[in-house]
Structure 1
Amino acid sequence: MTNAPDPLDNPVWSALTGVHAHLAEGDGLGRRYPADVSPFSGVADQADPLAWADLAAVAGPGVDLVFPALEHAPPPGFTVAGGLPGVQLVATDAFTSGRSDVVTELGEADVDDMLDLVARTRPGPFGRRTRLLGTYLGVREDGRLLAMAGERLRLGSATEISAVCTDPAARGRGLATTLVRAVAQGVRDRGELPFLHAAAQNTRAIGLYEHLGFTLRRTLQFATVRTPDA
C-alpha cells in the first residue's frame, strides 16, 4: 500500500488544486497564480515533462515563474534563472498561538498601506491582490501600519504564515511575534497546521521561529524558472 503524498512536499500544487483552485490559472498538470496575487507556480510532478508543458502553455513564452521547492531539473527549453536555499518550518505543540487586542484584520482599504510596508521591509513577494490568499492581520499606531502577517499557501491540512514584516522604527517591540501567534490561532481554529518558509540565510528569522516553537521539517531550493522562448 502506497502512502498518499504529504501536501507539504508540493505546497503550491496542493494549494492550487485545493483551497486556492478558484485562483488558479490553468486546469492541467501545471498551474500558476495570477501575477498580481503571487509569482508561485506548481506542477503535479516535477519529473513529468508533460506537466511542465502544461505550465508553459498556461504561462506563455519567456516568463519567469517561482517555485518554493525545486527538486527536479526542468526539461530542455526551460531555464533556471536564479535561486537560493530555503527551509520549511512547521509548528510544534510547544508553539503557543493566540489572539491580541492590538491586532486588526486588513482588507481592501488597507492595500496601499500594506504595499508601502512591504516596500520598506521586503519580506518577500507581495502584490496588490496577495491578500486574496487568506487572512492578513496588522498592527496600527496613530493610523500608520507598523507590522503585518498573513496566510499565503493554504493546503487544507496546513496553512503557510507569510509576509511577516515590521517597520524598522517599530522593531524590538514583539509585534512580529504577536502577529505570528494571532495568524496561527486562526489556522489552528480550522484544525490546520501552521507552517513557514524562509531563506536559509535569514538566520535571525529562523531563530525567532524556532524560539517560538517551530521546527525544521526540510531544506529546499527556492528557484525562478523561465519558460521556453517562443
Structure 2
Amino acid sequence: MSGSKEADLDRPIWAALTTKQAHLGYGDASARRYHPDVAPFAALAFETPAAYQALLQLLLPHEQAALLSDEPAGPIDGLQMTHVGVIHQMIARHREVASTHDDEVSRMSDADAKDMLDLVQKTKPGPFGKRTREMGNYIGIRERGRLIAMAGERMRVDGYVEISAVCVDVDYRGKGLAGRLVKVLRREIEQRGETPFLHVFSDNLSAIGLYERLGFELRRTFHLTRVGHADSLSTAVPKPI
C-alpha cells in the first residue's frame, strides 16, 4: 500500500466517516460521529476548540463519544473529557500464505443478531450495538447451536479494514478459537486486495501477544478519550475499542 493511503490509518475514524462509512454516521466538515447504535466513535477534522464545540452539538446531553488522538486531550470548555487509555494500532503488513479454510466458521446474518449481542454482553470485547454488524462481515463458531466465538470487521478506509469484536465464551477459551477467526478474516480481507489492521489497549498483553503470533505488528499508538457534555452525569461504560 502507498504511504498516502496508509496515512488514513493515522486518522482512521475520520477517514472512515468521510469515505466508505459516511452512510453510518453524520456531522459536518468539523466533526463527525457514527450513529449511536453503530459505534461510539467520533472524530474531528482538526483538534481545535471550534471542532470540539461542533462535536458537542452532535451529542445529546446524556451521550458520550470516544476519540483517538496523538496526545492526551486537554480540557475544553463545556466538555467533560476522560482519558480512557493508550491504544496500540497493529497491522498485518505481510500476506498470510497458509490456507485458512475452516468448515466450522459460519457467516453471521440478521438472524444471528440476538446471539451476537448475547455473546458480547458476556465477553465484553468492546462496544457492540444493535447496528454494529452493518460495519462489515462477521463470522462465528457454534457448538451445539450455541454461538461460542465471534469476530468481524469494523472501520473501513481506502485499502484497509479493521478486525474487531474478537470474543470467545469463557467456557471455550484456550482452544485457539480467536486465532482461527482472525486468520479467516485476515485471509478474506487480503483476498479483496486490502490490508487488515486492529486496535487493542496497550495493557492487554495477552491479546497483543496473540496478534503478534498471528503476524500483526505495532504501527503506532493513540490516546483514547471519552467526551461528553460537562454538565452531564458521568456514567461507567465499557472501554470502547
The normalised TM-score by structure 2 is 0.87
- The number of residue pairs the alignment matches comes to 227
Equivalent residues of 1:70, 1:222 under 8 A apart = no
Question: Which of 159, 163, 166 is the matching residue for 1:164?
Answer: 166
Q: CA deviation at 1:92?
A: 2.6
Question: Which of 88, 113, 116 is the matching residue for 1:114?
Answer: 116
Match for residue 224 of structure 1?
226
Match for residue 67 of structure 1?
67
Tell me which amino acid in the other structure corresponds to 2:110: E
Q: CA deviation at 1:229?
A: 4.5
Equivalent residues of 1:96, 1:212 under 8 A apart = no
Give deviations 1:210-229, integer Å, cap 9, x for gaps: 01111011122122111354
Unaligned runs of 5+ in 1: none
Match for residue 25 of structure 2?
24
Q: CA deviation at 1:95?
A: 4.6
Match for residue 212 of structure 2?
210
Equivalent residues of 2:43, 2:68 under 8 A apart = no
Q: Quote the RMSD (CA, aligned, Å).
A: 2.0
Give the whole-Å Cα distance in 1 for the aligned partners of 2:108 and 2:168: 15
Match for residue 58 of structure 2?
58
Match for residue 43 of structure 1?
44
Identity %: 44
Give the whole-Å Cα distance in 2 for the aligned partners of 1:45 and 1:153: 20
Match for residue 195 of structure 1?
197
Tell me which amino acid in the other structure corresponds to 1:164: V
Give the whole-Å Cα distance in 1 for the aligned partners of 2:62 and 2:77: 13
Match for residue 235 of structure 2?
none
Equivalent residues of 2:96, 2:187 under 8 A apart = no
Give the whole-Å Cα distance in 2 for the aligned partners of 1:74 and 1:30: 17
Match for residue 125 of structure 1?
127
Equivalent residues of 1:136, 1:149 under 8 A apart = yes
Give the whole-Å Cα distance in 1 for the aligned partners of 2:184 and 2:191: 11
**Greater Cα shift, 77-86 or 163-172:** 77-86
SS at match of 1:204: helix
Give the whole-Å Cα distance in 1 for the aligned partners of 2:110 and 2:215: 32
Counterpart check, 1:148 vs 2:141: no
SS at match of 2:139: strand
Unaligned runs of 5+ in 2: 233-241
Q: 1:189 and 1:74, CA in 2 relative to 1: closer, same or farther beyond 3 A?
A: farther
Q: CA deviation at 1:79?
A: 2.1
**Greater Cα shift, 21-30 or 97-106:** 97-106
The normalised TM-score by structure 1 is 0.91
Match for residue 83 of structure 1?
84
Tell me which amino acid in the other structure corresponds to 1:179: L
Give deviations 1:134-190, integer Å, cap 9, x for gaps: 000001111100100000111122111000001111112211111001111222122
